[in-house]
Structure 1
Amino acid sequence: MNSVDLVGRLTKDIDLKYTTNGTAVGTFNLAVNRDYTSKNGEREADFISCVIWRKAAENLANFTKKGSLLGVQGRLQSRTYDNKEGQRVFVTELIVDKFHLLESKNKIQGNNQNNKSNSNTQGTTNYDANSSRHYQPSKPFEGTPVDIDDDDLPF
């Protein structure tokens, strides 16, 4: 079974690009705290590379920003490629199937003014990358195309 559930914060905004066929692909790193502290008493974190596809990638890019608290569900995938120096590079990343926004919309937008009156509105919003139900973002996200051949797609 290849199933992963993580909760963490975005280390930067989602990097959203489009394949030559117009398929959206988003990449991001999720900082996930470890359950224990180091010998110095400091909490350590792991930085997990993640990839999300299609409409879910556009939604995630539109509804989050650096520091947003997310829950993600997906599967691990490993791949290799040769870098410019001719060295073989091994990459393991989480292919995200679902994500959950774990903060209120006001907190994600950094709107402290509304947080005072809506301090108990924290909730979650769930998005399924494989669902036929699509969510329309408030504004379209304009990304730059990335050259990915259809044969390289994991589906």
Structure 2
Amino acid sequence: MNKVILMGRLTRDPAVRYSQGEHAMAIARYTLAVDRRVRKNNENDQTADFINCVAFDKAGEFAEKYFRQGMRVLVSGRIQTGSYTNKDNVKVYTTDIVIEDQEFADSKGAAAAGNSQGSNQSQYTDDEGFIHIPDGVEDEGLPFS
């Protein structure tokens, strides 16, 4: 099975181009900065991975219209590897996430307020943005079992 789920922030606005031919298709490329859950051992340790993503057709159009640098998004898809020979005749290997589903990870209000790594979190949510459910709440009122 080849399935990837990532949540991260867009490092820049998606770069979109359209394919040639009878049915022009949007191809959006963007990079997600995905935080690592490990603590830094020293000042020079990398704390995030930068993962290349590509969205085709309607997903590409959605990314072009709504995604902007700094937004936190949730994506799922599959890993695709490839290679090509560059102009210097050197073989270059690539790894991309081909997007199958993508959505906003922050509320519209949080994104508009420039919510950066939880700095404007509500008193009702934790650092990951999950809502705290108070003790004594009956299970029947929750939307899941």
TM-score (normalizing by structure 2): 0.72
Which residue number in structure 1 is paired with residue 100 of structure 2? 97
- What amino acid maps onto 2:95 in structure 1? T
Q: CA deviation at 1:103?
A: 1.5
Equivalent position of 1:133 in the other structure = none
Equivalence for 1:37: 39
Alignment partner, residue 63 of structure 1: 66
Contact 1:5 1:73 in 2 (8 A): yes
The answer for the alignment partner of 1:20 in structure 2 is 20
Name the structure with the higher strand share: 1
Stretches of 4+ aligned residues off by more than 3 angstroms? 106-112
Secondary structure of 1:56's partner?
helix
Structure 1 counterpart of 2:36, one-letter code:
R
Change (3 A) 1:29 1:40: same
Residue 87 of structure 1: aligned partner: 90
Higher radius of gyration, 1 or 2: 2
Preserved CA contact (<8 Å) 2:59 2:99: no
Which structure carries more relative contact order (alpha carbon 8 Å, separation 6+)? 1
**Could you give the per-residue CA deviations for residues 39-62 of structure 1, whole angstroms, max 9, x where no partner exists?**
127770000011000011111221
RMSD between superposed Cα atoms in Å:
2.4
Aligned length: 116
User: Which amino acid is 1:31 matched to?
Assistant: A
Identity of aligned residues (%): 35
Given the superposition, is the C-alpha separation of residues 67 and 111 from structure 1 closer, same or farther in structure 2, using an over 3 Å criterion?
Answer: closer
CA distance in 1, matches of 2:42, 2:77: 33
Structure-2 change in CA distance of 1:16 and 1:68 (3 Å): same
Structure 2 gap segments, 5+ residues each = 116-121, 124-128, 130-145
CA distance in structure 2 between the aligned counterparts of 1:8 and 1:24, rounded to whole angstroms = 22
Q: What is the identity, as a one-letter code, of the residue corresponding to 2:57?
A: R
TM value normalised by structure 1:
0.67
